[in-house]
Amino acid sequence: MQTLTRPTRITSHSAKLIDHSVTNAPDSVADSFLILTDISDHFPVLQKLKLNLKCNATVDTKFERDFSKRNINNFKTALNANDWTPILACNEAQNSFNIFENHFNGLFNLFFPKKQKRLNKNFDPVNKWFTSGLLVSRRTLQNLFKQQTKNNSPVNVTSYKKILETCIIIQSKPPKNFFMQKS
C-alpha cells in the first residue's frame, strides 16, 4: 500500500508523485511527510510509525535567570531590608567578605533562580557564533522556501535563490570572526 499522497518532485511546470513509500502493514503507519528542502530535486520522505518503543532521547536545554523588573525590584528591596551588622561587626576582612558573599548570593539565588529551558533552534543559537541576525536570516530563508514550493512562480524562485546566495555568504563570515577573536 502506497502511503504518500502528495507530489515529491515539483518544477516550474509540473508537480509529480514519483517517489514511493510502500508498506504491507498499514496499521503501523501513523503518517507520511515530505520534508520541504532544496538539497535535492526530490523532497525527502519521512514516515512516522506507530511503535511501542521506549526512548531515552536527550533534549538540549540551557539554564537562564529571569532578570525582570519585578525580580530586580524585589531583590533591591531584600538587599535594603537585609541585616548587614554581622558584616560590619566582623574584624577580619576575609570573614567579613565571606558573610557578605553568603548573604548576597543567597538573596541573588532566591530572586533570580536558575531555570532550565528547552532550546528552540528557531530562537536560540545553535552555535556560539550564531547571532540573532543569522537566526532572522535563517527564518526568512525557510519562509521563502515554503512560498517557493507552494507557488513555484519565477518571482518566488528568484527571491529564494537571491536570499539563499546572500545567506551562504553571510553565514560563512561569523565563524571566521568568532574563531579569529578566540585566538
| H/E segment holding residue 151 | none
pLDDT digits (tens, 9 = 90+) for 68-116: 999 999 999 999 999 999 888 988 999 999 999 999 999 999 999 999 8
Q: Are 78 and 110 in contact (CB under 8 A)?
A: yes
What is the spatial distance between Cα 93 and Cα 89, in angstroms, rounded to a whole number? 11
Residue 176 has pLDDT above 70, yes or no: no
In one-letter notation, the amino acid at residue 90 is: C
For the chain, give the mean pLDDT. Answer: 81
- Domain-by-domain residue ranges, the chain? 1-59, 61-117, 120-175
The pTM (predicted TM-score) of the whole model is: 0.44
Q: Give the model's confidence band at 67: pLDDT under 50 very low, under 70 low, under 90 confident, else very high.
A: very high
Q: Are 122 and 143 in contact (CB under 8 A)?
A: no
Report the pLDDT averaged over residues 40-68. Answer: 79
What is the spatial distance between Cα 175 and Cα 183, in angstroms, rounded to a whole number? 13
Q: Are 17 and 42 in contact (CB under 8 A)?
A: no
DSSP state of 4: -
Sorted by sequence, the CB contacts under 8 Å of residue 171 that are 6+ apart come out as 134, 137
